[in-house]
Each structure stands twice: as structure tokens, then as C-alpha cells.
Structure 1
Amino acid sequence: MTQQAGLPLERGGCPFDPPPAQRGRAPIEPMTYPDGSAGWFVSGYHEARAIFADKRVSARADGPVDLVEAFARPIPTLVICELLGAPYERRDEFHRHTSVMFGNDVPMDDRLAATQSVVGFIAEQVEAKRANPGDDLLSDLIHADVLTAQELANIGMMLLVAGFETTRNMIALGTFALLENPEQLAKLRADPELVPNAVEELMRYLSVIHIGPIRTALEDIEIGGVTIKAGDGITFSIAVANRDPEKFPDPEVLDITRKATGQIGFGHGVHQCLGQQLARVEMRVALSELFNRFPDLRLAVPSSEIDVPENASIYGPVRLPVTWAR
């Protein structure tokens, strides 16, 4: 007989007794976990005691876990929802919209519609905060009374989207890079004080933006032996600039002991990322706690099987299957 997932847990008439549905079974029998994987249900004393003592048994996860879905996505989403005062339970809604917004192979009409949906979502939050202010950024911006409703919605949309999509991909891509460079990961585990430096080096070494940002010259600019005329567009390749050997020796090498201050992953000067300090904190905490909690964390599939699509505006793995043992 196979023990099915979702077996009732009701205790019956006595709150101190095991659930009746778990009693009266064979000491050890097959079962199915909620994710569909097969396993064994053990209720016999001698069988349980023998398995607990067996060194061939490990406290592994119920098969590979997708680090993107279980870790890299929830952290920045929860943080930005808390910051804006947006309902976390609606996260799947704006995750769905933003995946459309940043899909380069998605028709433009669909991308515009998804953008308007996110703006509409924020507009709803703005109206809710006007009626019932909270301890959050949107409420503070409304209270300042210097922005129109449309400006509030646009700013909120920018913060919501930029606040989790880029950080999610950096956490996932950074974890992937460290797992692929075990000597660097070993240094990080041996010296937790390297975490802030490691984050700067990962920001230099990796890039979640294929190309951009784009700016416009307001007047003629003489730089690098060329003249950029007023009105000319300027497109940056941060990924290539952060690997310029004139600034960073051996730029193709990931080295978490490198002093990577000055990397321009967050932009520079007046064109810096508004949320860069928040992103830094999230990455430092995420990577530190992840590798501290799971010292044996490793990829569950060959790295060649990790899908990192090149047709998305924000670069990062779709899934990152990992596993571990204790």
C-alpha cells in the first residue's frame, strides 16, 4: 500500500495521540511526497531506530530545490513589498507581469500591457495609502504632497520592478558563480569578513544587464579623443567596462579578495542606482546566510544544464537546482 501525500493530520478525539490515519500501517511502506517524488513512510520502532543510526542516511532535501524560486526570488520581493507597503500575497501577480515586461522576445503590445498592469497595481496602493497611511515609503511620499498620483504610480512601479528583478538575478547568478568557483567559495566560507568584498567583486564580474543604460548628451562632450554631440545617444556596456584590464588586472578571473571598489554595476555619479545600498545589504545577507546554513550546498545538475536565457532584458538563471547534505 502506498502512503499518499496530503494524508490527514487530524488527531481525532485525543490531542495527545498520533493521527489515526498514520496508525495501523506496515512498519515501512512506500509513500509519495507533495512534489511527486517517491519515498518511504516509517512507523515501526525497530525500523525507525535502525534507519536513524545508519550513516548511509542523510538529511537531504526532498530531491533538488530550485534556489531561484525558494530563495533568490522571495528575499528581494519580501523586502521591496515591506518597503513600499505592498501586499506580499500578490507577489505572483507582479512576478508574472515583470517577466513579460523584461522578455525581449515578447511582443511590444504585451510588454506595454504588463507595464500598465503594474502601474495600475501601484496606483491602487497609492489610493489605499491615501485613505489609510502606513509606515512605508509610499505613505511617506504621499504625505510629502509634492508628487502627482501619476508620478507616485510611476515611481512606485520603478521601485517595485527594479527592487526585486535585478537583485533576484544577482543573488541567483552570484550563487551560481561561487558554486562554479569552489576555491573562491572556500575562501568565503573560511573568512566571512570577505562577504562585502565578495559582493563588490560579483557586481564587477557579473552583469544582469546585457547592454545599457542609455543616456543623452545635453551638450557637446569631449572624452576619449572623440566628440559626443549634444543630442547624441550614449549606450553603455557595463559588463565590458567592469572587465577593463586598465582598471581591473586579470578581469576574466573571479577573485573575491580583489579590491573591486569602483565597479560600475550600480552606475556612477549622478547616474547611480537609487537602491544600490539596499541591494548590497540583501546580497551580503543572502550569500552569507545561505552558505553558512548549507555548507555542503552544490549544484544538483551539470552547470551546462542551467538555463540562463540571453533573450531577457535582465540576465539570470531561470532555475538553479541545488542540493545539500548534513
Structure 2
Amino acid sequence: MTTHDAVSLPTLRATPFDPPPALAELRARSPLSRLRYPDGHLGWLVTGHDLARKVLADPRFSARSEWKRNPVARRSLEPFYGAKALPGWLVDMDPPQHTRIRRRLARAFTAHRMRTLRPRIEQIVSRQLTAMAEAGDPLDLVAAFALPVPSLVICELLGVPYSRRADFQRDSATLFSLDATAEQAARAMDDLQTFLTELAAHKSRRPGEDLLGTLASDGELSVAEIAGAGALLLSAGHETTAGSLGLGVLALLSHPDQLARLAEDPGLADTAVEELLRYLTIFQFGVPRSALEDVPLAGETVRAGESVTVSLPAANRDPLRFPDPDRLDVGRNASGHLAFGHGMHQCIGQNLARTEMRIAFPALFGRFPRLRLAVPAQRLSFGGDTGFYCVHRLPVSWS
């Protein structure tokens, strides 16, 4: 494979729910393609499912932020990559720093912990549905349900005042936007870090039973690390689930046969959530890695220092792993999908996101069985301009 074969990352979608068709064309030729990054660097793009799992599980591919490259152009300087990771931002670290911080955080996100949180999440969902009913239709489901539910849950888990939601939601949206200026991105990062640093310092003086308070009381992490981990969990923890809820509702409304199956058999909720995660794969531009040494891969050699982008949307539509992958099937066994990544950096909050979605979808359609779009689908706006694919507004009716 020569440098002349290099392509830019395909980003143009033909339909709202499907990845760019050019990704499938590349994958059909090879699971590994030459990729030209916006800064001119020549690296690699992984589009096959098996190869994606191999790269994400291979310690020879680093997650350190100072070596990462964004495969899509941003209007401003990249706020996450090109410099040493902020304290606590474990997604941008390799072992042993990553291992030490993740081990401490993981205790709050076990399947057992999610079972204990389930009643509280059910209360939050029920309260938002009641507020929707009282407000009446039509309304924006993103603003009324998809965004506040995960925001309330992550605030309660971390011990963050929900009254600050407007600030952290704005800062998170700015950080993940491709259109933010350098000044806007820097100010958003600084505001978010300052807020969490002040909160972590307060928790160290008066620790509580929430995650930030627990971290502050056990003394294993510094205030700066607690603040950074909190900023990461707070920003990514509500943005990703909000996107999955909003887009998931739209996908079900757009596939009435699948919505009917779910309504007739509530036992399909778990498999339906996994299928929606696979089908939508909202982390749309892929996971960046950097080769620490020469690595033979798919008949090629990835040289030390070269960047590799693992396309999760392409891997989750690989027909060699998921037959008829472009079809939404709420009864499909979608286990092994890569919506949460894979390997040591697999999303630490995946159990929380699954629990929220397993509760939210049945509760929403159970409360509003006649839920439908209040505007033509063609008028909806989607988040091609942000790291997490989403529908920006989702006007719905039910009466």
C-alpha cells in the first residue's frame, strides 16, 4: 500500500443512521487503509471488526494524548490531543498511570453498583416523563428527556450539583464541537477543570458517599486527578448517553416494525439496547492510537510513530461479524459490538449507559405509546459537527 492510496477519513453520510458509505467501500477492499490526517501525517484507518479488536487490545498501540491525532479537521487547536494528558484523564494515558486511576474509578461502575442505582434511575426517568406529560406536546424530546436523564444520573453518581448543569453542558458541547474556536475550546476546558477542581477540594474537606467524595476520602488520588477524572466522567458521561437516547428514539420511530416488537415483548429491552448501540455507534470519528513500535498488521507494517484511527462505526457494520449489518434488528445478538471500544480503554461507564437505556426506552414508549415525530424527518438536524453523533432537537407529539 503506497502513500498514493491514502484517503481522508470519510465523513459524508447518505442517510441519518448509517455511517458514510465510503467506509464500507474501504472495508470491502481491506480492513486496513492508508489514512491522510488533516496535518498531512500518513497513518492508518481500521475498518474491519476483528482488526479493530486486535488494535484496541494491543499494548503496542498507545493512547497517550501527546501522540494522538484527530482524523477530522477542527476549526481550532485540538483541545485534547498534542500535549500531555491532564491529571485524571485516563483515556489519554497508558499503564501504569492509566491502570492506577481506572482501578480506583471502576469500583463505582460495576454491574452490582448499577443494580443498586437502578431504583434511583427509574425515579429520575419517571419524573422526567411526568414533567413531559404536564408540559404537554409538542416538545423537544432531547431537551425534555434525552439530555436531562443522563445529566441527573451522572450528577448524582459523582456528587455534582445539578444546578450547574447549564455550565457543564455548555462547556462539554464546546469541547466536542469541531466548530469551536481556539479561544472557546480553551475557555471551556479551563471552566470545566476549575469547577471540578473547586468541587474536588471541597469534597476533600467534607467527603460524602458520592464518587468524588469517596475518591477524596480514600487519599489514593490527588485533588487534580479527582478533578480531571470528574471532568471526563461528567462531560462524556452525559453527552454520549444523551446522544444514544435521542438518536435511539428516532431510530425506533423510524422503524415501526422494530418498535412494535419491543412493545409486544418487553423482554427484548436488553438485546434492543445492544443492537441500538451497534447500529448507531455515536462515537463517529473513531478511536485514535499511536504505534510504539513497528507492528505487522493485515499484511502491512505500521511503523513506530504512525497514527492509527479505529473506525468504530465501520467495525460495527462489518458483515463478517454482523450479518445484514445495515438492518436494525432489536432481536439480534449484537454482543461483541465495539460501541464502547475494547481492551483496557473500553468505556468505564458502559454499565451505567446500558442501565439508563434499558430503563428509559421501555418507560418512554410505555408512558407515551402514540409517540411520534412532530415535524417531518427531513427537518431534523444531526451532529456531524461534533465528536458524538446525535440529533440536536427531536420535536415529538403523543396526543
Q: TM-score range by the shorter chain?
A: 0.7 to 0.9
Matching residue of 2:347: 273
Matching residue of 2:301: 227
Matching residue of 2:154: 80
For 1:230 and 1:309, the matched residues in 2 are separated by 34
Matching residue of 2:250: 176
- Asked whether the 8 Å contact 1:72–1:168 carries over to 2, the reply is yes
Q: Find the residue that maps to 2:285 and give its secondary structure.
A: coil
What is the CA-CA distance between 1:221 and the residue it aligns to? 2.1
What is the CA-CA distance between 1:236 and the residue it aligns to? 1.2
Deviates more, 1:139-148 or 1:244-253: 139-148
Matched, 1:132 2:185: no
- Asked whether the 8 Å contact 2:283–2:339 carries over to 1, the reply is no
Matching residue of 2:195: 121
What is the CA-CA distance between 1:60 and the residue it aligns to? 9.8
Counterpart code for 1:307: S
Matching residue of 2:165: 91
Matched, 1:324 2:324: no
Q: What's the Cα RMSD here?
A: 1.4
Alignment of 1:144-163 (within 5 A): 144-163=218-237
What is the CA-CA distance between 1:61 and the residue it aligns to? 6.3
Q: Find the residue that maps to 1:267 and give its secondary structure.
A: coil
- Asked whether the 8 Å contact 1:197–1:256 carries over to 2, the reply is yes
For 2:137 and 2:335, the matched residues in 1 are separated by 39
Residue deviations 1:176-201, cap 9 Å, x none? 00000000000000000101101111
- Asked whether the 8 Å contact 1:60–1:324 carries over to 2, the reply is no
What is the CA-CA distance between 1:142 and the residue it aligns to? 1.3
Matching residue of 2:314: 240
For 1:60 and 1:108, the matched residues in 2 are separated by 41
Matching residue of 2:69: none
Matched, 1:100 2:174: yes
- Asked whether the 8 Å contact 2:137–2:398 carries over to 1, the reply is no
Q: Find the residue that maps to 1:246 and give its secondary structure.
A: coil
- Asked whether the 8 Å contact 1:61–1:323 carries over to 2, the reply is no
- Asked whether the 8 Å contact 2:272–2:331 carries over to 1, the reply is yes
How many residues get paired?
A: 267
Matched, 1:302 2:302: no
Matching residue of 1:15: none
What is the CA-CA distance between 1:80 and the residue it aligns to? 0.6
Tell me the TM-score normalized by structure 2: 0.65
Q: Find the residue that maps to 1:270 and give its secondary structure.
A: helix
For 2:293 and 2:264, the matched residues in 1 are separated by 51
Matching residue of 1:187: 261
* Runs of 4 or more above 6 Å deviation: none
Matched, 1:218 2:292: yes
Structure 2 unaligned spans of 5+: 1-132
Matching residue of 2:282: 208
Q: Which has the higher contact order (CA 8 A, sep 6+)?
A: 2
- Asked whether the 8 Å contact 2:289–2:308 carries over to 1, the reply is yes
For 1:214 and 1:300, the matched residues in 2 are separated by 38
For 1:271 and 1:95, the matched residues in 2 are separated by 24
- Asked whether the 8 Å contact 1:84–1:136 carries over to 2, the reply is yes
- Asked whether the 8 Å contact 2:269–2:358 carries over to 1, the reply is yes
Greater Rg by CA: 1
Counterpart code for 2:230: G
Q: Find the residue that maps to 1:214 and give its secondary structure.
A: strand
- Asked whether the 8 Å contact 1:61–1:324 carries over to 2, the reply is no
Structure 1 unaligned spans of 5+: 1-58
- Asked whether the 8 Å contact 2:290–2:305 carries over to 1, the reply is yes
Matching residue of 2:34: none
- Asked whether the 8 Å contact 2:290–2:306 carries over to 1, the reply is yes
